[in-house]
Amino acid sequence: MSLRPLIMKFGGSSLADAACMKAAAKLVRNALPDAPLVVLSAMGKTTDGLFRAARMAAQGQLEEALEAHTALMERHRQAAAKLLPLERTASVLQEIAQHGGELATILTGLSMVRELSPRSMDAVASQGERLSTLVFARFLAAEGIEVHLADARRVLRTDAKSGVATPQPKAIAALAAEHIAPHLGAGRVVVTQGYIGSTADGLVTTLGRGGSDYSAALLGAALGAREVQIWTDVEGVLTCDPRMVPGAKPIPELSFAEAAELAAFGAKVLHPATIQPAIEADIPVTVRSTMKPNGRHSVIRGDVKSGRAITALASRAPVAVVTVSSSRMLDQPGFLARLFDIFGRNGISVDIVATAEISVSLTVDNDAETDNALAEIRAFASATVVRDRAIVALVGEQLRSTPGIAARTFTALGDLNIEMISMGANEINLSLVLKKDDVPEALRRLHAELLPGDDA
């Protein structure tokens, strides 16, 4: 098929209520000539609510879980009632009730067995996207738009790692060609769920929190899309998380590498895996504001040469830092290999690494179970772990080749203690480790020094 569809992904905040859904639908209508495939998150904070309900049920608090369930259902009923004309409302309310019944059954089951496996959690969590797409697709249809509601579980094939499933791009391409492309080709808008998928034998899975962005990029790559649009509540990828630095500004253009690095180091606006399928298929990703569609936005493309020393700041917390010291490290060939082998065997993934002559520091997950690994290491070196640290990352294409960045960074941070520093191997990322509580102040100081602007 030569048709190059447009992927339009709307996040939870863009679907928070009927008014938001109307704004999103207007954008879809304007894009009709571009063959839009609409990928939706759950409404607002529905997924958080579903997680809470599942946990309560599994703790035996069925009544509370069902109260949360009622509130979630009510949110969807209200949106449907506001969006749909009276004659169409009853049938949609019935469809919502069917989902509600399914969810209540699962919650009741969880309260009986008092356990919550990742598999059960996926069964619960998947209801959020199934409900939002149902309401939105029925609304588009009521607006006179020809629409097909595609079940992502028939397209987004994954392995069986519940909660963090790995997508299978080849199968997804074949399934998208079968279940989505023909509808787009026939001039229909296709609406489908982000975040959820299924295994070959039909087990529902999810891609991890925030995974709808990833779904959008996977489907974009599968269908050879012209662009993947991420519609959200900010006017693009900003120079810093606006909740930390209110003066952060949208970045008009970013390279794939810069965007991938920012996402990996905590810029929540993009799921960290999103960029990968887009890079492979060379599809531009844009980040836009649903409520200010004519405002600013960001374009992320492979051929962008920003030439900037610093493009943006990101932060991720909490993390733990393991420091291993040995006076014999220097004359011990294979010291690092041995260390990584120990972490690997203990299922601990290492994030950033900084080495000195007789010590090496590594960051790991804050909740990582480190006792066994540390015991093994202590047979040949001393080892300590400190928790509740944070990584602050400076990202920019010309970071490495611009003199003076490090000096300005240290001066700006002043009395805030930097516990570890690491230059990323791709040379566009300088990572610092600080105490978690110092992060807001560190970001404000660094932004003012390195990314000053009218409003900084």
- Residue for token digits 């619960």? 124
Q: Is 11 in the site for ligand ADP (CB under 6 A)?
A: yes
Contact 320, 420 (CB under 8 A): no
Q: CB under 6 A: which stretch of 39-47, 63-71, 146-154, 333-341 binds ligand ASP?
A: 39-47
Nearer to ligand ADP, 4 or 268 (CB): 268
Q: In 10 A of CB 106, how many CB atoms? A: 18
Q: Is 392 in the site for ligand ADP (CB under 6 A)?
A: no
Q: What are the beta bridge partners of residue 323?
A: 361, 384
DSSP 237-263: SBSS-TTT-TT--B-SEEEHHHHHHHH
Q: Exactly one of 100, 210, 266, 424 binds ligand ASP (CB under 6 A); which one? A: 210
Cis, bond preceding 318 (omega within 30 deg of 0): yes
Site string for ligand ADP, 262-281 (x = CB under 6 A): -----xxx------------
Nearer to ligand ADP, 224 or 242 (CB): 242
Q: Is 8 in the site for ligand ADP (CB under 6 A)?
A: no
Nearer to ligand ASP, 11 or 236 (CB): 11
Q: Is 158 in the site for ligand ASP (CB under 6 A)?
A: no
Q: Exactly one of 57, 80, 223, 312 binds ligand ADP (CB under 6 A); which one? A: 312
Amino acid, res. 160: A
Number of helices and strands (H, E) in the chain? Answer: 14, 16
Q: What are the beta bridge partners of residue 196?
A: 206
Per-residue tokens: 103: 């969810």
- CA distances, 404 to each of 32, 56, 410, 424, 432 (Å): 49, 53, 10, 17, 16
How far apart are alpha carbons 452 and 408 in whole angstroms? 13
- The torsion region of residue 347 among left (phi > 0), alpha (psi -120 to 50) and beta comes to left
Q: Is 241 in the site for ligand ADP (CB under 6 A)?
A: yes
Q: Is 195 in the site for ligand ASP (CB under 6 A)?
A: yes
Q: CB under 6 A: which stretch of 182-190, 206-214, 238-246, 445-453 binds ligand ASP?
A: 206-214
Q: Cβ contacts of residue 367 below 8 Å, gap of 6+?
A: none
Cβ-count burial 169-179 (b if 16+ within 10 Å, e if not): bebbbebbeeb
Q: Is 212 in the site for ligand ASP (CB under 6 A)?
A: yes
Size of the site for ligand ASP (CB under 6 A): 12
Q: Is 210 in the site for Mg ion (CB under 5 A)?
A: yes
Q: Is 12 in the site for ligand ADP (CB under 6 A)?
A: yes
Q: Is 194 in the site for Mg ion (CB under 5 A)?
A: no
DSSP 329-379: STT-TTHHHHHHHHHHHTT--EEEEEE-SSEEEEEEETT---HHHHHHHTT
Give me the least distance between CB of 41 and ligand ADP, in Å please.
6
Q: In 10 A of CB 399, how many CB atoms? A: 22
Among candidates 12, 25, 37, 48, which has minimal Cα distance to 218? 37
Q: Exactly one of 238, 321, 352, 364 binds ligand ADP (CB under 6 A); which one? A: 238
Q: Exactly one of 36, 211, 284, 424 binds ligand ASP (CB under 6 A); which one? A: 211
Q: Exactly one of 47, 232, 361, 431 binds ligand ADP (CB under 6 A); which one? A: 232
The closest residue (CB) to Mg ion is 210
How far apart are alpha carbons 91 and 134 in whole angstroms? 11
Q: Exactly one of 44, 194, 236, 272 binds ligand ASP (CB under 6 A); which one? A: 194
Q: Is 124 in the site for ligand ASP (CB under 6 A)?
A: no
Q: Exactly one of 17, 48, 143, 233 binds ligand ADP (CB under 6 A); which one? A: 233
Q: Is 14 in the site for ligand ASP (CB under 6 A)?
A: no
Q: Is 11 in the site for Mg ion (CB under 5 A)?
A: yes
Q: CB under 5 A: which stretch of 4-12, 69-77, 156-164, 359-367 binds Mg ion?
A: 4-12
Which positions touch ligand ADP (CB under 6 A)? 11-14, 41, 210, 232-234, 237-238, 240-243, 267-269, 312
Chain residues that interact with ligand ASP, rule: CB under 6 A: 11-12, 41-42, 47, 128, 194-195, 209-212
